[in-house]
Chains A and B, each alone.
Chain A
């Protein structure tokens, strides 16, 4: 259920490295907590982000939640389909619901993030 090829943050973002670039998004858990998304705000292409920066936010009828950059780098592409169809993120949070792609400035940062097993354990602990 929780993709093995990603790394995870405590704020429920995921990041999938692809060489010196990476794709990011928010996890299924986060999407479920929010409920049906009504709006997604993304960083702009060209923005330089540092790990932990507020990069955007996701909005539902219940709440607005900030999305933080899981790693440092330059934003090279954003998922334009979410503007017309934010529900796509709820439907497929790890695939079609990706948020942005970035060129990593320091790929080693990913080592500090949780892997799939650690994230699963983290979720179990949060629920308990």
Chain B
């Protein structure tokens, strides 16, 4: 399909502002002006609408396909959340209004949303305070790592290391590294969870924190989690919870009750705000009271008269990790989702997420060996290793699923399982959809033996087949160089 630049026609335009009603003209000296207008598209509005509509039709999405990406929680994004974010009182509000004298009184609605979302997340996770500022999960992790560093520095402790499990998501070590810590991986045991003895060996006075997700990336709950928390606290370390897998435990377990001191959540996963093809998200961070003084500036507070305001006088705060208050347009959707679900609904969400995952696992386990022979939670990992021995990789399975109208599960993660296929159905999906997916997976396992070449060439029903990634990295063509359009 052509690029919009290739469809441009010199002189064509759609948008016009209309007559400029002011009599003045700004006289800007030549030396400050660009010689040529930027070569942006020259198309009509109809051209633009057809182009982007056609592009949208080349995507798989939750709205069109089952999307069992493990660790991503691709649940249904309720449409009314889109309406909520677009309400004019939210969408048109300038973020610096509170900076004007009495400006806080003009923004009571949004401040209430930010405050109450924080309180509700505290209740859901068992934490004491939340900051809504982090703009994505990884941003939340970085904020968490910085809070941990501030906490230790404040107590005069020399801490240099962060421990993570070998099954961790890449953002964990990347975030810890950026915060200045050395990352120490600890192995998982045969039950697929962090090995307590291995942890004991790695723990010493220099450990600032242990970063965990629970259930972990394999969808497994570590029954020793409280013991781990106690061990870490004994060396004056902190427990960090990566909230990516919160969808498994809402209404049943709270990280704050397990001994976690810092938590980040992914609103675009657990709380149904859309993924957007790669963002925007929001990664709010919750802490226990001992870390509250270090939270980023500003903080929304509720005054005794019931009004809300922003507090800037926070001498121990780590400062500004985001320009303003967080991705409000995302946060307000999560707020509405939590109101719609209620406490009972959130528990139903987790119950059904875990049920759906176990159902799919029970039907698939004879065809693809699970990484661990255990009950899973909201997601599970299968190994495609036996098929690999016949020349079919996890990637081939993924491509075969695309031809059958399913978005593939996560592949090759976590790195500790060979030919990993990580499946997270979510609570949104019906039994019929799950059965159709299982049937497709079984058919692929059969095809792997009967006709492997069919899978090596998959997908064949998409606009393009497998793409040459080596060529992409070698030529590094990231910006269209053509002079574009028709009639040139």
Contacts and interface: CB of A to CB of B under 8 A. Distances in A.
B470 A39 contact: no
A60 B470 contact: yes
Interface residues of A, number: 9
B287 to A, nearest CB: 35
B469 to A, nearest CB: 4
A38 interface: yes
A44 to B, nearest CB: 21
Main secondary structure of the interface of A (DSSP, over half): mixed
Contacts of A38: 470, 473-474
Interface residues of B, number: 4
Interface string B325-356: 00000000000000000000000000000000
Scoring A36, A59, A60 by chain B CB atoms within 10 A of each residue's CB, the highest score goes to A36
Contacts of B473: 38-39, 59-61
Contacts of A86: 474
B187 to A, nearest CB: 20
Interface string B457-488: 00000000000011001100000000000000
A79 B52 CA distance: 45
Contacts of A59: 473
Interface in A30-50: 35-36, 38-39
Contacts of A39: 473-474
Contacts of B469: 61
A61 B470 CA distance: 6
A32 B473 CA distance: 18
A36 B469 CA distance: 10
Interface in B435-469: 469
Interface in A10-43: 35-36, 38-39
Contacts of A61: 469-470, 473
A114 to B, nearest CB: 28
Contacts of A36: 470
Nearest to B412: A62
9 contacts: A35-B470, A36-B470, A39-B473, A59-B473, A60-B470, A60-B473, A61-B470, A86-B474, A87-B470
Interface of A: 35-36, 38-39, 59-61, 86-87
Given A38-B473, A39-B473, A60-B470, 13 more contacts: A35-B470, A36-B470, A38-B470, A38-B474, A39-B474, A59-B473, A60-B473, A61-B469, A61-B470, A61-B473, A86-B474, A87-B470, A87-B474
The 3 A-B residue pairs with the shortest CB-CB distance, nearest first, are: A38-B473, A36-B470, A61-B469
